[in-house]
Amino acid sequence: MVSDLLLTPIIQHIVLAYTALLVSIALGIPLAILALYSRNLQTFVMTSANLMQAVPTLAVVAIVVPLIGIGFWPAIVAIILRALLPIIRNTWIGLSSVDPAIIASAEGLGLSEWEIIRYVRLPNAYPAIFAGVKFAAILANSVAILTAMIGSGGLGSLVFEGLAGVNMMKMLSGALPAIGIALFLDASFSWMERRMVPRSGQSELE
Amino acid sequence: MTKRFGETVAVDRISLDIIGGELLILIGGSGSGKTTTLRMINRLIEPDEGTIAINGIDIRTIDGIVLRKNIGYVIQQIGLFPHMTIRENIGLLPTIEGWSREEIDSRVTELLTLVHLPPDQFMDRYPKELSGGQQQRVGLARALVMNPPLLLMDEPFGALDPLLRRQLQDEFIGIKEDIGKTIVFVTHDINEAFRLGDRIAIMHEGGIVQLGTPRDLILNPADKMVSDLVGSDRLFEHIASLTVSDMMVPASSIISGEMPVQSAIEVMVQSGSTVAVVRDRAASFFVAQLPTLLQRRDEVKTVLEATDPPFFLSMDASLLSALEEMKAASASFGLVMEDGEPAGLLLPDDLISRLV
């Protein structure tokens, strides 16, 4: 069945991209928060994040193989290496660009560091964080196609097999769902952003 | 206490007693150490030397966060949280402390009413929908939410235009009476200091040059800087804060009512005064004026016969109201009494020459 042939790669693709994305969020946001309080960590995180951006995606995928081999988990690592950057950088910018007067008044009120992050910095950083996560999701989606080369399976396999066998139908059956997922991601994140970002919480980033 | 930033001494060995319930002004130019002093009180800045105690308890023994939750703090930039409604801004600390929604709503309503913002109109608006003056009122309400006994204010009205600033000062005077808190208030505006302050500490280069009531500073400036700052040479500007006792001429000698007119004239001429206090046998007081005595010296024998009934004033009456009363009574001078004895005379001619 054609639908079965397509369904498995689509599910593989989504599991791949979303697992990597969720891990990136779970790592990226706490790292960005910690970077607020440690100058060294801040420099390290931002430099390495920027460095990863400079390396071509294909090279990121390739470099993973000699380090941890091929298959599903190496593919996840490759996607995380790509998706972590926009999340960390946007979260850090969002958290650190809060008006100093607002932080000063929060300190003066007697909020603890954690309460300032929880009630002041994070809400003010939501727009930036959402923008970062949205961008990371779209990156994850596209890297998840490339990782088929290192045996992650998913829609990328269809694309590469289609390319290798000059099978246009097969190639499109991989590419079109990937494009559809990308558009869906973009739309759903935009929707969530409108729902969750408070009405007057625009930061300077917008 | 002393605070250094690198090589710079921001606050140099100052010592300050704040009296419960008073509004103490810290005034000075930029770099005088006034804000640093204020921020040491709630441990936003730690002093390098010395101690600060509140009700006898060294504040270093209290956790900074706990301390600040119990000290209200208002800054010039206000710093309302832009993503929260007015209700959420004021209710943030109570929320963290675990108050119920009803308790928070009733406290917010109470505070908004106190700062003259109709609660039903403002509760659910966002800070940027409010004018600067309204935002600063919310800032004050937010600082008062945990009912702190001490309130620190760092140039709260500094960013407002003069008209609005004056209006908020007036309102604040009323609010201050209502809440009865100890307030330390930083400003660089001497007029604001005089309007609001019970006592004023003048700071310069990290030290306190002089600390006193507005009247102390005007009448006894410690040095040229203070006298320039408060305008001691332009007393008329401060007429509203002066009392009768500040401007009276002390009653040097009291003439007995039976003294012959001629001797009384000699006594007055000798002492160089044109008005003298006269006491009769019943220990009632009268006032004799030199011109009247001269005019009538042939008609009358004793001073008492040529005296006028005095217009009595009390020592601590405000100068302005005393002058108004004298004007209403067409009195040309006032006899200032203290504990039933004459303490001095208020002479308009002399007053004008001292005011201007």
Name the average pLDDT for chain B: 85
The alpha carbon of residue A26 is apart from the nearest alpha carbon of chain B, in Å, by 24
pLDDT > 90: what percent of chain A? 27
Find tokens 């040309």 and name the residue.
B332
Under an 8 A CB cutoff, do B93 and A200 touch?
A: no
Under an 8 A CB cutoff, do A105 and B78 touch?
A: yes
**Which tens digit of pLDDT belongs to each residue from B322-348?**
888 888 888 878 888 888 788 888 887
Nearest-Cα residue of chain B relative to residue A123: B83
The rounded distance, in Å, linking the Cα atoms of A64 and B49 is: 57
Q: Do B83 and A124 meet the contact criterion of CB atoms below 8 Å apart? A: yes
CA-based nearest residue to B206, from B47, B20, B23: B47
Q: Is A56 on the interface with B (CB under 8 A)?
A: no
Q: Is A104 on the interface with B (CB under 8 A)?
A: yes
The rounded distance, in Å, linking the Cα atoms of B232 and B251 is: 24
The rounded distance, in Å, linking the Cα atoms of B324 and B335 is: 15
Which residues make beta-bridge pairs with B212?
B200
How many CA atoms does the CB half-sphere of B306 hold within 13 Å? Answer: 27
Find tokens 């490759």 and name the residue.
A78
Find tokens 């600060």 and name the residue.
B52
Within 10 angstroms of residue B253's Cβ, the number of other Cβ atoms is 11
Looking at residue B4, what is its pLDDT? 62
Under an 8 A CB cutoff, do B96 and A111 touch?
A: yes
Residue B139: what residue type? G
Under an 8 A CB cutoff, do B65 and A110 touch?
A: yes
H-state helical runs in B101-197? 101-114, 119-122, 132-143, 162-179, 190-196
Nearest-Cα residue of chain B relative to residue A202: B83
Q: Is A47 on the interface with B (CB under 8 A)?
A: no
Is 0.80 surpassed by the pTM of this model? Answer: no
The alpha carbon of residue B65 is apart from the nearest alpha carbon of chain A, in Å, by 5
Residue B283 Cα distances to B44, B45, B211, B297, angstroms: 62, 62, 41, 23
**Which tens digit of pLDDT belongs to each residue from B25-55?**
999 888 888 888 899 898 898 888 888 888 8
DSSP element (H, E) containing A195: helix A168-196
Name the average pLDDT for chain A: 86
Q: What are the helix and strand counts (H, E) for chain A?
A: 9, 0
Collect all residues of chain B within an 8 Å Cβ-Cβ radius of residue A104: 75, 77, 79
Has residue A1 got a pLDDT over 60? no
What does the block give as tokens for A136? 């990371």
The rounded distance, in Å, linking the Cα atoms of B145 and B70 is: 10
Nearest to B96 among A99, A108, A115 (CB): A115
What does the block give as tokens for A106? 């929060």
Under an 8 A CB cutoff, do A110 and B93 touch?
A: yes
The alpha carbon of residue A203 is apart from the nearest alpha carbon of chain B, in Å, by 9
Backbone angles phi, psi at A26, to 5 degrees: -65, -30
Helix axes B162-179, B101-114, angle to 10 degrees: 120
The rounded distance, in Å, linking the Cα atoms of A17 and A20 is: 5
The rounded distance, in Å, linking the Cα atoms of A167 and B141 is: 71
Tallying the residues shown for chain B, one arrives at 356
DSSP element (H, E) containing A144: helix A122-146
Q: Of chain A residues 182-201, which have a CB less than 8 A from chain B?
A: 198-201
Find tokens 């923008």 and name the residue.
A131
Provide mean pLDDT across the span A87-112: 91
Looking at residue B356, what is its pLDDT? 67
Interface mutation vs chain B, best among A98, A103, A105, A109, most B CBs within 10 Å: A109
CA-based nearest residue to B285, from B350, B343, B216, B342: B342
Under an 8 A CB cutoff, do A109 and B67 touch?
A: no
Residue A198: band (very low, low, confident or very high) from pLDDT cuts 50, 70, 90: low
Nearest to B82 among A103, A107, A201 (CB): A201
What does the block give as tokens for A139? 């990156």
ipTM above 0.85, yes or no: no
Has residue A202 got a pLDDT over 80? no
Collect all residues of chain A within an 8 Å Cβ-Cβ radius of residue B143: 109
First CA to last CA across chain A, in angstroms?
A: 47
DSSP element (H, E) containing A156: helix A155-164
Out of A17-21, A198-202, B6-10, B337-341, the most confident range is: A17-21
Which residues in chain B land under pLDDT 70? 1-9, 232-234, 236, 356
Looking at residue A205, what is its pLDDT? 40
Q: Is A102 on the interface with B (CB under 8 A)?
A: yes
Interface mutation vs chain A, best among B39, B67, B81, B146, most A CBs within 10 Å: B81
The rounded distance, in Å, linking the Cα atoms of A99 and B257 is: 76
What does the block give as tokens for A124? 């003010």
Q: Is A124 on the interface with B (CB under 8 A)?
A: yes
Collect all residues of chain A within an 8 Å Cβ-Cβ radius of residue B82: 99, 102, 124, 200-202
The rounded distance, in Å, linking the Cα atoms of B354 and B241 is: 15
H-state helical runs in A97-121? 100-109, 113-116
**Which tens digit of pLDDT belongs to each residue from A118-131?**
999 998 888 899 88
What does the block give as tokens for B317? 């009456």
Interface mutation vs chain B, best among A103, A105, A204, most B CBs within 10 Å: A105
Tallying the residues shown for chain A, one arrives at 206
Has residue A78 got a pLDDT over 50? yes
